[in-house]
A = this chain, B = another copy of it.
């Protein structure tokens, strides 16, 4: 029997996890794939003396590119320079590429998928969103009969860990972040996670798949969790909410609206119970209603699970593009509308020398408002939730309110 030979490019966390998982479950994988498989090359510029895979390491990409035995490669290098170049060169030669590189897919997905189709091979990226959670295939294959109306997800494990830590251990943001860094959940420079860029890339991939147009990161309003205070978490808990960093893309009458920002999530919503480093993605289809996918959104083994699943699919379909996954790339971005044109409810916390006297003004501005009680609430503070109004209007009303009080926080509701 012919043996399918695979190249793994990048031997970092995900790359080494992929190689280890492949050899651990090789027999099972070959059985499910109905053919023999082996990893022929591992591309990495570093040396790994004593590695059990020592004979497979190479430093020169052209060896992979020029080996006709290689029909499937896993790009686990990250970044958008070499990874982009290598992926294009492989796909142009009809070599399928699977990847966990969310940045590259969010940036160049439409082009790379098109290139794969043109060369009768596949570009798969199950591992780019939600780590090991099956989400890309369920979205474009299992829900293919649906018009997708909305995707709302907890797409970043680091921020979810920090928010969980803040609530359960009453740690302020800085301490919770430090704890996440100590455990290796957050990078030394944590900005890509906590300011939302990582979640944004994943949302772009899901949105592009669901709505058929390339959603670039620039189309998404993005704000992170740096400003969330323990006081806010206490208020919102009293009103029956938790705070999560939510990637949200939604079809409105005016067009698509996409945001990554902290949001109040009602405890009756399954997303509100998703804690620690777990991710969850809720997809609403016109026929299926709400479905939710939950699991470890990151980590060596979970991500490797998705990469190897893609490798299996790519090997099974060498020389045939099977993916219905595709989206258009267009300079016209009129299908997106500004997020502030969408109706939204917001939580507001204000401070003033006599906050209670503001209640009348707030009610005049917003109509019926939920004021949130809190034990030992200072008299100088007031928190409330507005009804659903266009966000432009909310901001106008808050501008008026700010003449009489200090607006300390504004958090949207999901």
Complex Cα distance, B132 from A143, in Å, reads 8
The answer to whether A312 has its CB under 8 Å from any CB of chain B is yes
- From 119 to 160 in chain A, residues with beta carbon under 8 angstroms from any chain B beta carbon are 126, 132-134, 137-138, 140-147
Please pick, from B29, B144, B292, the residue contacting A145 in the complex, using a CB distance under 8 A. B29
CB pair A305–B324 under 8 Å, yes or no, is no
CB pair A288–B301 under 8 Å, yes or no, is yes
Please pick, from B147, B270, B295, B312, the residue contacting A273 in the complex, using a CB distance under 8 A. B270
Most buried by B among A29, A33, A291: A291
A307-320 to B contact mask, C-beta < 8 Å, 1/0: 01101110010000
A381-406 to B contact mask, C-beta < 8 Å, 1/0: 00000000000000000000000000
A19-43 to B contact mask, C-beta < 8 Å, 1/0: 0011011001100111000000000
CB pair A143–B270 under 8 Å, yes or no, is no
The answer to whether A286 has its CB under 8 Å from any CB of chain B is yes
Please pick, from B137, B288, B295, the residue contacting A296 in the complex, using a CB distance under 8 A. B288
- Supposing A25-B286, A293-B291, A295-B289 touch, asked if A134 and B138 sit within 8 A by C-beta, the answer is yes
Neighbouring B residues of A141 by C-beta, 8 Å = 134, 137, 309, 313
A263-305 to B contact mask, C-beta < 8 Å, 1/0: 0000000100110000010000111111111111001011011
- From 152 to 209 in chain A, residues with beta carbon under 8 angstroms from any chain B beta carbon are none
Neighbouring B residues of A142 by C-beta, 8 Å = 126, 134, 137-138, 306, 309
Please pick, from B24, B138, B146, the residue contacting A138 in the complex, using a CB distance under 8 A. B138
Complex Cα distance, B137 from A351, in Å, reads 52
CB pair B33–A133 under 8 Å, yes or no, is no
Give chain B nearest CB distance to A288 CB in angstroms: 4
CB pair A132–B288 under 8 Å, yes or no, is yes
Residues of A that sit less than 8 Å from B by CB: 21-22, 24-25, 28-29, 32-34, 126, 132-134, 137-138, 140-147, 270, 273-274, 280, 285-296, 299, 301-302, 304-306, 308-309, 311-313, 316, 322, 324
Task: Report, nearest first, the 10 A-B pairs whose CB atoms are least far apart.
Answer: A134-B142, A145-B308, A291-B295, A132-B288, A134-B138, A292-B294, A288-B305, A287-B305, A287-B301, A32-B144
Taking A137-B141, A146-B305, A270-B273 as known contacts, 19 extra A-B pairs with beta carbons closer than 8 A to each other, sorted by chain A number, are A28-B145, A29-B145, A32-B324, A132-B288, A134-B138, A134-B143, A141-B313, A142-B306, A142-B309, A144-B308, A144-B309, A145-B308, A270-B294, A273-B273, A287-B302, A287-B304, A288-B301, A288-B305, A289-B302
Show 12 A/B contacts (Cβ-Cβ < 8 Å), sorted by A. A25-B147, A32-B140, A134-B138, A134-B141, A134-B143, A141-B309, A142-B306, A287-B302, A288-B295, A288-B302, A291-B295, A316-B324
